[in-house]
């Protein structure tokens, strides 16, 4: 599979009359690993949900495999920002992954032996096979996120969307997490949204800076120019931005 698989054209979106996204144009090709970065409230999550078909644009269009996102949802995996669950609930990692196979009206007891084999193999692909029977509440933040990714991957989608996936993961876990996503991106298109710029630049193939408008950079390196397009500071302010370059955290101050 080659060429454009997601096309966003002239997209505008508002909440209660307040513009959130303005004339967004974006093309994502098969095999891309795209980091959507920008400040809180800049519209990253909204754009993600529009590409998923969870929201409808005020104007413009979103096409995924040249169809509407809702028509092609079976080819899309999604890990949302907030996944709420009772950590004391006795559900295993494998059971969480099996939830990705549920269809409307299907009960918990209807998983087939084949379903369970697929769930375990999916966990193995992201180095979580040994935790298949472990209760989800016993896992670390990074391990839980891997399980949620396995749930999104169990249907073998072509695209994986992730919204703030490292919010509950410590610095060491974040590095390992991005290593895992990098491995996944060799066989699936990955689109990741983050507001804190904790992105390993050497792994992503392109960066989309989203702050009501969108500035697309066909490269993985996060530069001061990109930061300047996102963060609208006054002339006397600096924009503190944390990056991870080759796994080493450091701080960049951009003067305007």
How does pLDDT run across 7-44, given as a tens digit for each residue? 999 999 999 889 999 999 999 999 999 999 888 889 99
Least trusted range by pLDDT, from 108-112, 154-158, 250-254: 250-254
Taking CA atoms, 167 is separated from 13, 79, 141, 199, 250, in Å, by: 26, 12, 9, 12, 18
Cα 122 versus chain centre, distance = 18
Give, rounded to a whole angstrom, the gap between the first and last alpha carbons of the chain.
Answer: 43
pLDDT tens digits along 117-175:
999 999 999 999 999 999 998 998 889 999 999 999 999 999 999 998 887 787 777 88
Instruction: Report d(CA 41, CA 47) in Å as an integer.
Output: 11
- For the chain, give the mean pLDDT: 82
DSSP 3-state of 177: helix
Position 256 confidence tier, pLDDT thresholds 50, 70, 90: very low
What values do phi and psi take at 50, rounded to 5? Answer: -70, -40
Q: Is there a contact between 97 and 124 (Cβ–Cβ < 8 Å)?
A: no
Query: Which among 171, 163, 202 has a CA at the least distance from the CA of 185?
Result: 202
Which pLDDT belongs to residue 110? 73
Taking CA atoms, 133 is separated from 77, 139, 144, in Å, by: 23, 11, 13
Which pLDDT belongs to residue 254? 38
pTM value is 0.83
Between 64 and 106, name the one with better pLDDT: 64
Which pLDDT belongs to residue 224? 63
Cα 134 versus chain centre, distance = 25
Task: Give the orientation angle of helix 113-125 with respect to helix 141-153, to 10 degrees.
Answer: 130
Which pLDDT belongs to residue 204? 87
What is the CATH T-level fold of the domain 4-86+158-255, as seen in this structure?
Rossmann fold (3.40.50)
Query: Which among 105, 81, 91 has a CA at the least distance from the CA of 133?
Result: 91
Number of other residues whose CB lies within 10 A of the CB of residue 95: 20
Helices and strands of the chain, counted as H and E runs: 6, 11
Q: Cα angle at 201 between 73 and 181, to 5 degrees?
A: 40
Residues comprising the chain, all counted: 256
Cα 9 versus chain centre, distance = 21
Q: Is there a contact between 190 and 162 (Cβ–Cβ < 8 Å)?
A: yes
Task: Give the orientation angle of helix 141-153 with respect to helix 171-184, to 10 degrees.
Answer: 20
Region class of 29: left (phi > 0), else alpha (psi between -120 and 50), else beta: beta
Q: Is there a contact between 153 and 231 (Cβ–Cβ < 8 Å)?
A: no
Structural domain spans, the chain: 4-86+158-255
Which pLDDT belongs to residue 109? 56
Query: Which among 65, 66, 48 has a CA at the least distance from the CA of 11?
Result: 48
């Amino acid at each position: 599979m080659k060429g454009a698989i997601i096309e966003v054209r002239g997209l505008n979106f508002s909440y209660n009359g307040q513009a959130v996204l303005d004339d967004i144009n974006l093309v994502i090709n098969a095999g891309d690993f795209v980091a959507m970065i920008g400040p809180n409230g800049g519209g990253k999550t909204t754009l993600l949900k529009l590409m998923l078909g969870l929201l409808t644009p005020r104007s413009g269009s979103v096409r995924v495999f040249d169809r509407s996102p809702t028509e092609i949802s079976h080819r899309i995996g999604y890990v949302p920002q907030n996944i709420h669950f009772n950590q004391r609930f006795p559900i295993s990692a494998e059971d969480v992954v099996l939830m990705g196979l549920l269809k409307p009206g299907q009960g918990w007891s209807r998983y087939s032996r084949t379903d369970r084999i697929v769930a375990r193999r999916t966990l193995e692909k992201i180095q979580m096979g040994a935790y298949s029977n472990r209760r989800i509440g016993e896992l670390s933040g990074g391990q839980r996120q891997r399980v949620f990714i396995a749930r999104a991957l169990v249907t073998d989608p072509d695209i994986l969307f992730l919204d703030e996936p490292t919010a509950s993961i410590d610095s060491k876990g974040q590095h390992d997490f991005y290593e895992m996503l990098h491995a996944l991106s060799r066989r699936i298109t990955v689109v990741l949204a983050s507001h804190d710029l904790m992105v390993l630049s050497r792994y992503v193939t392109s960066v989309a800076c989203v702050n009501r408008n969108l500035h697309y950079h066909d490269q993985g390196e996060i530069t001061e120019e990109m930061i300047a397009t996102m963060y609208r500071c006054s002339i006397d302010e600096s924009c503190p931005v944390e990056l991870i370059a080759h796994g080493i955290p450091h701080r960049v101050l951009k003067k305007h």
